[in-house]
């Protein structure tokens, strides 16, 4: 029997990348899955429902969750995975860009959680998993405002955990390092830039490689399942040790021979 057999899971941002990989793992583990995104799925899979929902639209999010409750009668798992990146130093970031990324990365998780929480409180059960980032626990020079949104998600998650643990609700984040998805590739402008940047990402990761979307999805399954039932308010890095500490200085050099690629 699957580790999520009998569970109903709602996914925001499930059309591609980490979200789609998680939809696949949820289905493989026996969950009933209701996914959503502003775009159609990158891959057609059988056995679940995908809806077009703008996760920043309060009414659309509420209607989507109400529809799931009407059809399935419950929501056991919520995966808040919507996110966009903004790779700009602070001085180059406009107030409009600041508002836009907060309105997306933070508001989406807020709205998704707000929509399912009353139901989870009533049932005294539920697992909420939110995708933060490596940048949710450490400063980074290249994308400070993105990082701020990911720190905000950590704060939101820990607060939900503390507030609602006694009601059987768990809230945890997954914090990926560099994961090979469309988001990672779209932050780069050319194949040459991808080669350079990938080398930098690899060089700055103790594991000396970027991660795969399914490696994050496996952790989401664990946090969604009853195997993690006493794990609450946790920030879980899935990053090849990148957030664990600084490496010796020469490890960050592009000339350093990693030998593990
Ligand atoms: N790829 C990485 O290296 C990495 C690292 C750390 C954290 N993350 C986080 O992981 C999550 C997934 O990212 P990914 O790498 O799979 O990228 P991705 O761009 O493939 O996935 C993000 C998804 O969010 C959807 N989305 C964007 N705006 C939306 C909206 N308004 N309403 C509904 N859906 C919307 C996109 O259509 C997309 O399917 C994001 O929160 C991202 O910040 C990614």
Residue 248 domain-assigned (yes or no): no
175 lines ligand 1 (CB under 6 A): no
Quick check: is 137 in a domain? yes
* Cβ–ligand 1 contact at 147 (below 6 Å): no
Q: How many CA atoms lie within 13 A of 53 on its CB side?
A: 30
Question: Does the residue 190 lie in any domain?
Answer: no
**Does the Cβ of 55 fall within 6 Å of ligand 1?**
yes
Give buried/exposed letters for 168-195 (b at 16+ CB in 10 A, else e).
ebbbbbbbbbbbebeebeebeeeeeeee
- Atom of ligand 1 at shortest distance to CA of 55? 32
pLDDT at 123: 98
Q: Which residues are catalytic?
A: 146
Instruction: Classify residue 258: in a domain, yes or no.
Output: no
Q: Does any ligand 1 atom lie closer than 6 A to the CB of residue 176?
A: yes
The predicted pLDDT at position 261 comes to 40
Helix axes 213-224, 17-28, angle to 10 degrees: 50
CA of 15 to the centre of ligand 1 (A): 9
Q: How far is CA 16 from CA 31, 56, 60, 137, 214, in A?
A: 18, 18, 20, 25, 11
Question: Does 260 map to a domain?
Answer: no
CATH number of residue 123's parent domain: 3.40.50.720
Quote the ligand 1 centre to 176 CA distance (angstroms).
11
Q: Is residue 228 part of a domain?
A: yes
Q: Assess whether the C-beta atom of 13 lies below 6 angstroms from ligand 1.
A: yes
Residue from 16, 22, 83 to probe ligand 1 pocket by mutation (most atoms less than 8 Å from CB): 83
Write out the residue range of the structural domain in which residue 168 sits.
8-179+212-241
Our answer on whether the CB atom of 140 is closer than 6 Å to any ligand 1 atom is no
Closest residue by Cα to atom 41, ligand 1, is 83
In angstroms, what is the span from residue 27 Cα to ligand 1's centroid? 20
Measured CA to CA, the distance from residue 164 to residue 153 in angstroms comes to 16
pLDDT score at 104: 98
The Cα–Cα gap between 85 and 81 comes to 13
Residue 179 CB–ligand 1 contact under 6 Å: yes
| Minimal-distance CA residue to ligand 1 atom 42 | 83
Q: Per the domain annotation, does 56 fall within a domain?
A: yes
Per-residue pLDDT in tens (0 to 9) along the chain, 261 residues: 899 999 999 999 999 999 999 999 999 999 999 999 999 999 999 999 999 999 999 999 999 999 999 999 999 999 999 999 999 999 999 999 999 999 999 999 999 999 999 999 999 999 999 999 999 999 988 999 999 999 999 999 999 999 999 999 999 999 999 999 988 888 766 666 767 777 788 888 999 999 999 999 999 999 999 999 999 999 999 999 999 999 988 888 766 665 544
Report the nearest atom of ligand 1 relative to the CA of 210.
3
- CA-nearest residue for atom 38, ligand 1, is 13
77 lies in a domain?
Answer: yes
Domain count, the chain: 1
Pairing of strands 77-80, 8-12: parallel
8 Å CB contact between 40 and 52: yes
Per-residue burial over 143-155, b if 16 or more Cβ lie within 10 Å, else e, is bbbbbbbbbbbbe
Between the CA of 79 and the centroid of ligand 1 the distance, in Å, is 12
Pocket lining: 37 vs ligand 1, CB cutoff 6 Å: yes
List phi, psi (to 5°) of 229: -65, -20
pLDDT of res. 132: 98
């Amino acid at each position: 029997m699957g580790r999520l057999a009998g569970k109903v899971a709602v996914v925001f941002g499930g059309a591609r990348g980490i979200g789609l990989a998680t939809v696949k793992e949820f289905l493989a583990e026996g969950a009933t899955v209701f996914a959503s995104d502003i775009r159609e799925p990158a891959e057609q899979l059988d056995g679940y429902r995908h809806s077009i929902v703008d996760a920043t639209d309060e009414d659309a999010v509420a209607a989507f969750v109400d529809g799931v409750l009407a059809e399935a009668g419950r929501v056991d798992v919520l995966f808040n995975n919507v996110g966009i990146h903004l790779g700009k130093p602070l001085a180059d970031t406009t107030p409009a860009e600041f508002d836009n990324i907060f309105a997306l990365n933070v508001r989406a998780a807020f709205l998704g959680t707000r929509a399912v929480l009353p139901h989870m409180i009533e049932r005294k059960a539920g697992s909420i998993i939110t995708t933060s980032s490596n940048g949710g626990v450490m400063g980074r020079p290249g994308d400070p405002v993105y990082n701020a949104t990911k720190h905000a998600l950590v704060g939101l998650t820990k607060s939900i955990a503390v507030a609602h643990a006694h009601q059987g609700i768990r809230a945890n984040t997954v914090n990926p390092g560099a994961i090979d998805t469309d988001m990672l590739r779209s932050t780069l402008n050319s194949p040459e830039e991808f080669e350079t940047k990938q080398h930098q990402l690899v060089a700055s990761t103790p594991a000396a490689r970027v991660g795969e979307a399914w490696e994050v999805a496996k952790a989401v399954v664990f946090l969604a399942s009853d195997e993690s039932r006493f794990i609450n308010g946790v920030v879980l890095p899935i990053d090849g040790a990148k957030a664990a500490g600084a490496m010796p200085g020469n490890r960050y050099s592009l000339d350093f021979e990693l030998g593990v690629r």
